[in-house]
Amino acid sequence: MENRGGPFCRLVSRVKIICEIATFVVFYDGYPVSPGHALIIPKRHVASYFDLTNHEREAMNVMLQFVKQKIDERFHPDGYNIGINVNEAAGQSVFHVHMHIIPRYKGDVPNPKGGVRGVILGKQSYNVLPEKESVSPVGGTQNSKSYTLEHKRKEHGNAYLPWDDEADRLLCRMYDEGKSISLLSDIFERTKEAIRSRLKKLGKIE
């Protein structure tokens, strides 16, 4: 990698390089979150992932597959978190784009559910739905937790999450392209009833 004074240029001589091609270099993080934590870094000095060329993004994905295989062979992790920080508000402190490949191991945290949602404090764990009143077998009423978000999201990962404008536009476009309710349910990780309800609200079906 050319040395133009960037932080990774100074680091590269002191870390273990996993692999290198004309446009990218991959090495183990100098301050690993877990054993095998690696970084994929373009040689071109660019701050944001969104400023990479299409070719660079494709190359980064190829490198990701390669380095995962190497980490699997050496460390045998049970899972992965993969991420890129973009801008200071998202935690970026080195303004040369880099992808983190963080191996995960069973028991490395008490409860891993939610994964990268944990970047916002308090958002990693799903909340339990409010208690709902249900009818007892003899016709009376009783207060009970009929179900939880955790239970629902085992089947549908986005259950009860609010829709946003981008998701609405994508839903409408895919529906107009002829995709079935069942397929849309899988894509958006919501129940078929939720997809139908949203399409009705958006005026796509009656």
Catalytic residue among 37, 98, 100, 156: 98
Closest Cα partner for 112 from 73, 144, 81? 81
Instruction: Spell out the residues 6+ positions from residue 99 whose beta carbon is closer than 8 angstroms to its own.
Output: 39, 40, 41, 49, 60, 64, 82, 83, 84
Active site residue 96: no
Alpha carbon distance 104, 130 (integer Å): 32
- Exposure string for 70-103, b = 16+ CB within 10 A, e = fewer: ebeeeeebeebbeebbbeeeeebeebbbbbbbbb
Alpha carbon distance 59, 86 (integer Å): 19
- The three-class DSSP label of residue 29 is coil
Mind listing the pLDDT tens digit of every residue in the chain (206 residues)? 444 445 555 555 566 899 999 999 999 998 899 999 999 999 999 999 999 999 999 999 999 999 999 999 999 999 999 999 999 999 999 999 999 999 999 999 888 988 998 888 777 766 544 444 444 445 554 444 445 656 665 666 677 778 888 788 888 988 998 889 988 888 888 888 899 999 999 999 98
Which two tokens mark 49?
A: 């992932």
- Residue in the structure block whose two tokens are 């003899």: 138
All domains in the chain, ordered by first residue: 7-119 (3.30.428.10), 126-150 (no CATH), 156-206 (1.10.10)
Identity of residue 44: R
Q: What pTM was computed for the model?
A: 0.57
Task: Give the number of residues written for the chain.
Answer: 206
Q: Which residues pair with 141 in a beta bridge?
A: 135
